[in-house]
Amino acid sequence: MKKGLLLAVTLLLVLTLSACLGGGGREETTVDIPDALPNEPIEIVIWHAFGEDNQALLQEMFDSFNEEYPQVTITQLGQGGYDGLRESTIQSIVAGTTPTIVFGYPDHFVEYLNGNALVPLDEYINHDVHGVDLDDFVDGFLAENQQYLDGNQYSMPFAKSTEMVVYNKDFFDAQGVELSRTTPLTWDEVEALADTMVGNGENQCDFMFNADSSSNFFINSSRQWDAGYTDGEGNILVDNADTRDMLNYFNGLFDEGIMSFPIEWDENYGSEPFKDGLVCMSQGSTAGTRYNIPDEESPFNEMGIVPVIQRDLDNASVMQQGPNVAVISDADNNQRLAAWLLLKHMTNTENTADFAMATGYVPVRKSGFETAEYQEFLSIVDKYDDEGLEGLSPSERLDLPFAMAATVAFAQVDWYQYDPAFVGRVTSSGARQEAGLAFEAIYAGTRTVEEAIERMLNQLGQ
Amino acid sequence: MLEDKSNVKAWFYLAPALFLLTIFIFYPIFNALFLVFLRDYNYLQGTWEGFTLFENFLYVFRNQNFTQALTNTMIITFVSVPISVIIALLISVWLNSVLKLRGFFQTIFFLPYVTNAIAIGMAFAFLFNQNYGLINTMLGWVGLNPVNWVGLGATWGNAMFSLLVYVVWASLAFKIMVFLSGLQNIDKQYYDAARVDSTKRYRIFRRITIPLLSPMIFYITITSFIGAFKAYTQVIGMFGVRLGPPGNDKSLITIVALVYDALDRSGVPGALSEAAATAIVLFLITLVFTLINMQVSKNRVHYSGGGK
């Protein structure tokens, strides 16, 4: 009898808790934009994955926003890395404790859209009073944020970066090779350079080239080879002759010791091997420029930066990356408007230029590249070309790597591409991961090109 | 009447524990069971597209990594548990016979238990490093070539061997502690009597130590099997999220890693049900082997006579 009672009470508790499973679903997000922000306290919470330095830069933007809208209280909270940010946001959507603004990638945003958790921004963008001119945004950055299958725009570009190639300038100078910051090298040219630059001698490296991200390298090379990768529907398009051709080509470079990935040195990035002079050129994000600057122990003093290597300059392609921003739908209409106005403020011409100069990211607006301050920042590179390091002031020397990265990023602006975000049993982030693993397995010699493609397709349920 | 009163009191005292158990144990178990039968459960919305009996299990079995995960889990379990139980038993018997510095040795052997598993895993990855690891250095002393245990493109066999060494080593501490406490509870009279009869040490070990320690051995074997089936932290500790050597990623994936892999896609409809189904499959595998273990041990465990 007692046991029965205990069982019944326990079952009741369990069933009551289980009712939490079925939330009844979230309704489609409707947009109703107030004409003006009311003069009453409005709270905005922002979740991102930035460290202390970038948080301080954001705070400056919030402070200037508060000068115009003192009624808005803004709180920013770092959520660790981007995986942590995504996980926290998903849990907050389930628990109903969401922030107002969330940073992230379209991969993340399409997941949040499964919970109708994002506000479509189109009506804000086109609003007579609060709208913004999208024509001023860099096309490639904008396209990434306009890719959602229902045709709405759910996010805005904020801290964007692109891939670039740092090179050991001292070694190249010693070989009498001068590289251009605006015209990319082709793979044929890199192979030719490797003939003299790879080796154990003076001013030579163990490897000619390293790519930090094997995933990015797979995706971008697929574009350069006109091979498929994925589409917005989640189809994996790598089972074709062009992909095989591309992978076989790089497999040849692996065998010749021309090309490497950071796993060669048990590293996540190639910056340390680059600084140690083990690899002559390293492809990575412009946002990671600072990590490649040679230090006291480096066997060289100066690094240079050039655009991403291309197969064919008529079919150039470059990865763009870096987080975008979206507004969460749990916010009320005033919070949403305040959030939108803040996004506008954070991405205005001055702020996007200032943020870019301080971080190594690139401006998201074309006008950001054209501000006097930004042009002056870029002019450090010209001064360096004319007068060398000796001609630069100490602060200009510190800014030089970032100015070079910015120059290269601008030179590549027409080649920015993004990979489609999708979410189903197979996700775009899963496809990215498998693409990178396929390349690394070929590099390590644990799989042939054919086996790597087959495994990638199997892993992605194709 | 008096019994009723004490029953009420007992329930009252048990209430906090029952309440917490309900929330943190019964509810999650029930939830996992419930999730398994939902089709395309959308975690973000709390909605699902009807019910299904086997669909989520089919996703588990069709997962390209399931066979590999099952194989790895079985190998980790059926190799590491017997080896670690035997080694722990031998070390305990030796420790029990040591008169000098016993406390010191006990502390040494117990240290892994209070050390972070990830940190130990990293240390073992270092020990097995191809270029500067201690293992290859020692191989060099006897004229053997260095082996690529865990480095770029290391084979599954080498990586699994390294992992097993780590798993066995890390699991010794708790077993030694339990065996040692069991050994110290065995009445000395049995040993004195054996000594009077000039019984050989091996015979004493087989006829006195093992039978009187059998409840502890049984307990340790069962809990070790259950723990080994849940192997995951050890793989992460040694190989990181790659779950294998660089260039041979996921080659050491385990069933629990499949659960986390599905949970990592929690925003995708159906992913939580897939995670729950994987957990249920692991539970059933563990249950079957535990029952077999209990059946096999039935007539071999000697419950009386240990202690005074």
Domain B63-297, what fold?
A: MetI-like fold (1.10.3720)
> What amino acid is encoded at B154 in this protein?
A
- Tell me if A32-160+322-369 shares its fold with A161-320+384-459: yes
CATH assignment of A32-160+322-369, among 3.40.190.10, 3.30.10.20, 3.40.50.800, 3.30.1310.10: 3.40.190.10
Secondary structure of residue A434 in the 3-state scheme: helix
Phi, psi of B41 (to 5 degrees): -65, 120
Quick check: A279 and A211 in contact, CB under 8 A?
no
Phi, psi of A284 (to 5 degrees): -155, -170
Q: What is the pLDDT of residue B300?
A: 76
Quick check: A378 and A181 in contact, CB under 8 A?
no
First to last CA, chain B: 38
Q: What is the pLDDT of residue A425?
A: 84
Q: Which residues of A388-398 are buried (b: 16+ CB within 10 A; e: fewer)?
A: eeeebeeebee
**B113 — pLDDT class (breaks 50, 70, 90):** confident
Contacts of B44 in chain A (CB under 8 A): 26, 90, 93-94, 111-112, 114-115, 117
pLDDT digits (tens, 9 = 90+) for B41-73: 999 999 999 999 999 999 999 999 999 999 999
Which residues between 210 and 269 in chain B have a beta carbon less than 8 angstroms from any beta carbon of chain A? 246-250, 265-269
ipTM for the predicted complex:
0.85
Candidates B76, B124, B86; CA nearest to B226 is B76
The verdict on a CB contact (< 8 Å) between B45 and A437 is no
First to last CA, chain A: 55
Averages of pLDDT over each 10 residues, chain A, 462 residues: 62 56 69 91 97 94 97 96 95 95 96 94 96 94 92 94 96 94 96 95 95 97 95 93 98 96 95 97 93 93 96 94 94 96 97 92 93 95 94 93 93 91 90 96 97 95 78
The verdict on a CB contact (< 8 Å) between B153 and A446 is yes
Distances (CA, A) of B303 to A294, B48, B219: 69, 51, 12
3-state secondary structure chain B: CHHHHHHHHHHHHHHHHHHHHHHHHHHHHHHHHHHHCECCCECCCCECCCECCCHHHHHHHHCCCHHHHHHHHHHHHHHHHHHHHHHHHHHHHHHHHCCCCHHHHHHHHHHHHHCCHHHHHHHHHHHCCCCCCHHHHHHHHCCCCCCCCCCCCCCHHHHHHHHHHHHHHHHHHHHHHHHHHHHHCCCHHHHHHHHHCCCCHHHHHHHHHHHHHHHHHHHHHHHHHHHHHCCCHHHHHHHHHHCCCCCCCCCCCCHHHHHHHHHCCCCCCCHHHHHHHHHHHHHHHHHHHHHHHHHHHCCCCCCCCCCC
In angstroms, the CA B298 to CA B218 distance is: 9
Q: Is A118 exposed, middle or buried (0-12, 13-18, 19+ CB in 10 A)?
A: buried
**B111 — pLDDT class (breaks 50, 70, 90):** confident
What does the block give as tokens for B137?
């250095």
A18 touches chain B (CB under 8 A): yes
Region class of A161: left (phi > 0), else alpha (psi between -120 and 50), else beta: beta
Secondary structure of residue A247 in the 3-state scheme: helix
The verdict on a CB contact (< 8 Å) between A114 and B46 is no
Chosen for mutation from B9, B34, B64, B268 (greatest number of chain A CBs closer than 10 Å) is B268
Helix (H) or strand (E) holding A314: none
Kindly report the CA angle at A428 between A424 and A429, in degrees rounded to 5?
A: 115
Phi, psi of B253 (to 5 degrees): -60, 145
Secondary structure of residue A103 in the 3-state scheme: strand
Quick check: A29 and A109 in contact, CB under 8 A?
no
pLDDT digits (tens, 9 = 90+) for B116-140: 888 999 999 999 999 889 999 999 9
Q: What is the pLDDT of residue A23?
A: 55
What does the block give as tokens for A23?
């939330």
Chosen for mutation from B25, B27, B45 (greatest number of chain A CBs closer than 10 Å) is B45
Q: What is the pLDDT of residue B296?
A: 87
Please give, rounded to a whole number of angstroms, the shortest distance from the CA of A177 to a CA of chain B. Answer: 33
Domain boundaries, chain B: 63-297
Q: What is the pLDDT of residue B306?
A: 44
Distances (CA, A) of A220 to A106, A190, A227, A289, B249: 18, 17, 10, 20, 22
Q: Under CATH, which number does the domain A161-320+384-459 receive? A: 3.40.190.10
Quick check: B115 and B173 in contact, CB under 8 A?
no
> Which residues, 6+ apart, have CB-to-CB distance to B175 below 8 Å?
B84, B85, B88, B89, B92, B220, B224
Domain boundaries, chain A: 32-160+322-369, 161-320+384-459
In angstroms, the CA B68 to CA A450 distance is: 20
In angstroms, the CA A376 to CA A401 distance is: 14
Q: What is the pLDDT of residue B304?
A: 61
The verdict on a CB contact (< 8 Å) between B267 and A430 is no
